[in-house]
DNA sequence: CTGTTAGCGCCTTCAC
DNA sequence: GTGAAGGCGCTAACAG
C-alpha cells in the first residue's frame, strides 16, 4: 500500500508538500499540485485515515450507539441525527452495544475513536458512560439520566404522554384501566407509569396493582402479558401498553381469543411506530417527536464541542394520536 | 487525558512494561502488573484506540455500508452480519452512504478505517469500490456485480424469485400481468424483471411493454405507478411489484379507487418485509434469505482476510410466500 | 512556495 | 522481567 512518502518521492517533492497538495491547502503551486496528484493516482494512493486522526487528535465523526443494530429503530430519530451530523461536516457511524460493556459500542466510547456519542442503548452501563464522558467528549443519552456534567439528557416527556393516554381512556368512560409495563428498570417506562398513575389520581380512581402487568417492550412480551390478563378473567375496560410493540402483541392475543378491539376492550400504545397505523384496528397511541430528539441531540454535541455550555436535560413534548383502538362513546 | 506514558511514569516503570501489563502479555511480574493497573485506574487511563490501530495496521472492525441508516432495512440481514462479526471477535460499525462518493461510507472504505466492508448501497459508485478493494481489504457487495478479484458478490436469486412470482400468477389463471419495476439501473430489479419475462415466455404469453411501469422501490413510487396503471383504463388481471414497499403503495392506490384486492386484481410483491404480513390483504410475496445473506457475507470476508480463496459470486435461493393478495381459483 | 523535522500514542523488537 | 528506541502514516510548525 502506497503511503504519502511514496507519493512524495515519485512526485519528487517533500512529504509536507505532498500533504499540502493532497489536502488542497493553498500553499503549493498548481504545477506541484498536479504532479503530486498524478503520482498519487499512479500509485493508487489512499490516505490512511487512522494516521491522520491520530495526528489531529480528532476524528470528525460522532457515534450513534444503539442496543442492537438490527432492532426496530425509530428511523426518524436516526434521520434527525444523520441530517445534522452531515450538515455540520461530520461523519456518523452507528454501532451496536450487543455485548454490553465489552461491545463495539463501548470500545468506541472509551477509545477516542469518535468525537462524541449519542446513546440509546439500555444495555450499556451508566458507569461506562460516566467513565468516558469528558470535556472534549460529550455524550447525549436518550434513555436514562446520568449525573455527570459532560453527559446531557434528551428525553421525551414520557410522563405527560402517559398522562394523556390514560386521561383519554378515562374520558372515554373507562374506569378500569390496566397498564402493561416495559422493563422495570427502564427510565421511559417509569415515567410513563408515573403519568398513568397521575391521571388515575386526578380522576380519583384508585390504583390497583393487580392491573399492572410486566412486559418488556417486545411484541412477544405484550402478547404474554395480555394472555395472562385474559386468563385472570375479569378483563379491564381498557389497557395502556407502555409501547406500541406490546400493544400489537396484545392485539394478536385478543384476536386469538375472539375479543374485539375496541368493541370489547380499548387499548392505547406509545411511540407511534410505523406499524401502528397498519394494524387492525389502527392503534391509538402517543407519538414521540423522534426526529427532533435526534437532531437536537447532535446539535447539543456540537455546542459542547464548541465549548458552549448547555443545559443538562431537555424534555420534548409528545403528541396524542387518535386512531381506532379506543371505543368511541 | 492520560496516556500510557503517564501511567508508566506514575507506576515507575518503562512504557513498554506498562504496555505489556495493560495488554496482559505474560512478560511482567504480577507485582508490576498490579502497580501499572493501579496507576492506570488512578489516572482514569483509557487507551487511544486510534494509535493502537495505527501501530498494528489493523482495526479489527468491519463496516456495513447502507445507503441510508434510517432506511427501511432488512433487520434480519443486519442480524446475520452482526452475529458472525461479533462471534469472530470483530467489531461492526454501520455507516451511511448518504452523499454518495463523498459520504462517511466512502471515507471508511478508502481510508483503511476498517478491515473489510459489506456494501448494500446503490448510491456508492462501483469505481469507489474498485478503487478500495485490495488483497487485505475484502469487500462484499450485495447489490451489484463488480469485476474485481477482491470484491465478492452475494446475491439472492432474484431471477428465480421473479419467475416464481409470475408463474404463480399465471397458475392462478391470470393472463395479463403488469410489472412495476424498481429503478432501471438496479441489479436486483433487472434480475426480477428477467424472471418475469422468462415466466411469461415459458407460458407463451407475449410480453407487452405497455404493462411494465417504472417505479423506484419506494411506497410512493408504487402508489404513483399504480395510479397511472389505473388511469390507463383496462387494468391487467394481476400486478407483480418488484418489491413490497411498492406493492403497499399500490394497495393504497387501489383502496382509494375502490378496487378490491384480490377480488378485482391480484398482486404480488418481493422481499417479504415485516409490513407485508400486516397490510390488507396480507401480501403474497417472495422472501429473501436475508439472515443467511448477511452471515455469509461476513464469513466470506473473514475467509478472504485469512488468505483463503473464495468464489466470486454466491447466489441464494428465494422462497415463495403465499398470503392473500392473489385471487384464489 | 517547498523542505526539514518533530511528534500524535502506541506497540514491539532488541539489548540488558 | 524491564527499559530504550524505533517506527506506524500523517500533519503542521518552522525554516529556507
Mean model confidence pLDDT for chain A: 94
B183/B186 Cα distance (integer angstroms): 5
DSSP class of residue B95 equals: E
Report which of B322, B323, B327, B324 is spatially closest to residue B263, judged by C-alpha positions. B327
The answer for residues whose C-beta is within 8 angstroms of residue A109's C-beta and 6 or more apart is A63, A65, A117, A119, A124, A128, A129, A132, A139
Q: What is the pLDDT along chain B (329 residues), one digit of tens a residue?
A: 899 999 999 999 999 999 999 999 988 999 999 999 999 999 999 999 999 999 999 999 999 999 888 777 678 899 999 999 999 999 999 999 998 888 999 999 999 999 999 999 989 999 999 999 998 899 999 999 999 999 999 999 999 999 999 999 999 999 999 999 999 999 999 999 999 999 999 999 999 999 999 999 999 999 999 999 999 988 999 999 999 999 999 999 999 999 999 999 999 999 999 899 999 999 999 999 999 999 999 999 999 999 999 999 999 999 999 999 999 87
B318/B270 Cα distance (integer angstroms): 10
B70 vs A contacts (CB less than 8 Å): 75-76, 78-79, 82
Interface contact B44-A131, CB threshold 8 A? yes
| Confidence (pLDDT) at A75 | 85
The three-class DSSP label of residue A275 is helix
Question: ∠B229-B230-B234 over CA atoms, to 5°?
Answer: 90
A181/A226 Cα distance (integer angstroms): 11
Tell me which protein residue sits closest to nucleotide C5, measuring alpha carbon to C1': A16
Determine the distance between A107 (CA) and C12 (C1') in angstroms: 23
| Confidence (pLDDT) at B293 | 96
The three-state (H, E, C) secondary structure of A155-217, written as one string: EECHHHHHHHHHHHHHHCCCCCEEEEECCCCCHHHHHHHHHHHHHHHHCCCCCCHHHEEECCC
B52 vs A contacts (CB less than 8 Å): 111
Tell me which protein residue sits closest to nucleotide C8, measuring alpha carbon to C1': A55
pLDDT tens per residue, range A32-52? 999 999 999 999 999 999 999
Q: Partners of A321 in the beta sheet?
A: A285
Report which of A139, A168, A164, A136 is spatially closest to residue A151, judged by C-alpha positions. A139
A68 vs B contacts (CB less than 8 Å): 82
Query: Residue A70's CB: how many other CB atoms inside 10 A?
Result: 22
Cβ pairs bridging A and B (under 8 Å)? 131
> Residue A193 to residues A163, A285, B327: CA-CA distances in angstroms?
8, 15, 46
| pLDDT over 90 percentage in chain A | 89
Closest chain A C-alpha to B196 CA, distance in angstroms: 29
Report which of B264, B261, B320, B316 is spatially closest to residue B287, judged by C-alpha positions. B320
A58/B287 Cα distance (integer angstroms): 44
- Looking at chain A from residue 70 to 89, which residues have their Cβ under 8 Å from any Cβ of chain B? 70-72, 75-76, 78-79, 82, 86
Contact (Cβ atoms closer than 8 angstroms) between residue A158 and residue A145: no
B150/A321 Cα distance (integer angstroms): 51
Nearest nucleotide to A30 (CA to C1') is C1
- Looking at chain B from residue 269 to 328, which residues have their Cβ under 8 Å from any Cβ of chain A? 274-275, 278-280
Please tell me the pTM assigned to this model.
0.90
| Confidence (pLDDT) at A86 | 93
Interface contact A59, partner B, CB < 8 A = yes
Nearest nucleotide to A27 (CA to C1') is C1
The answer for residues whose C-beta is within 8 angstroms of residue B91's C-beta and 6 or more apart is A95, A104, A107, B60, B61, B62, B85
A72 vs B contacts (CB less than 8 Å): 75
Interface contact B107-A48, CB threshold 8 A? no
Domains of chain B: 4-156+289-316 (3.40.50.2300), 158-288 (3.40.50.2300)
Report which of A78, A324, A138, A122 is spatially closest to residue A216, judged by C-alpha positions. A122
Amino acid at each position: 500500500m502506497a503511503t504519502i512518502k511514496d507519493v512524495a518521492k515519485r512526485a519528487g517533492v517533500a512529504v509536507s508538500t505532498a500533504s499540502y497538495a493532497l489536502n488542497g491547502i493553498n500553499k503549493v503551486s498548481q504545477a506541484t499540485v498536479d504532479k503530486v496528484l498524478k503520482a498519487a493516482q499512479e500509485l493508487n494512493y489512499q490516505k490512511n485515515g487512522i494516521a491522520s486522526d491520530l495526528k489531529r487528535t480528532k476524528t470528525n465523526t460522532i457515534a450513534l450507539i444503539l442496543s442492537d443494530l438490527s432492532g426496530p429503530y425509530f428511523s426518524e430519530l436516526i434521520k434527525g441525527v444523520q441530517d445534522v451530523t452531515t450538515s455540520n461536516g461530520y461523519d456518523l457511524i452507528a454501532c451496536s452495544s450487543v455485548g454490553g460493556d465489552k461491545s463495539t459500542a463501548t470500545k468506541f466510547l472509551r477509545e477516542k475513536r469518535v468525537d462524541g456519542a449519542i446513546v440509546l442503548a439500555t444495555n450499556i452501563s451508566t458507569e461506562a458512560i460516566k467513565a468516558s464522558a469528558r470535556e472534549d467528549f460529550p455524550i447525549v443519552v436518550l434513555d436514562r439520566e446520568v449525573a455527570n456534567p459532560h453527559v446531557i439528557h434528551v428525553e421525551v416527556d414520557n410522563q405527560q404522554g402517559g398522562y394523556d393516554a390514560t386521561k383519554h381512556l378515562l374520558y372515554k368512560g373507562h374506569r378500569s384501566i390496566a397498564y402493561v409495563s416495559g422493563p422495570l428498570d427502564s427510565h421511559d417506562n417509569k415515567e410513563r407509569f408515573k403519568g398513568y398513575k397521575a391521571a388515575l389520581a386526578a380522576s380519583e380512581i384508585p390504583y390497583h396493582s393487580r392491573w399492572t402487568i410486566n412486559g418488556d417492550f417486545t411484541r412477544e412480551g405484550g402478547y404474554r402479558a395480555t394472555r395472562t390478563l385474559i386468563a385472570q378473567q375479569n378483563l379491564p375496560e381498557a389497557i395502556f401498553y407502555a409501547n406500541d410493540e406490546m400493544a400489537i402483541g396484545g392485539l394478536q392475543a385478543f384476536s386469538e381469543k375472539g375479543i374485539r378491539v375496541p368493541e370489547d376492550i380499548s387499548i392505547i400504545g406509545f411511540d407511534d411506530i410505523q406499524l401502528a397505523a397498519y394494524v387492525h384496528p389502527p392503534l391509538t397511541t402517543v407519538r414521540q417527536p423522534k426526529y427532533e430528539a435526534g437532531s437536537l441531540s447532535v446539535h447539543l454535541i456540537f455546542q459542547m464541542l464548541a465549548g458552549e455550555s448547555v443545559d443538562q436535560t431537555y424534555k420534548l413534548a409528545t403528541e396524542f394520536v387518535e386512531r381506532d383502538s379506543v371505543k368511541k362513546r
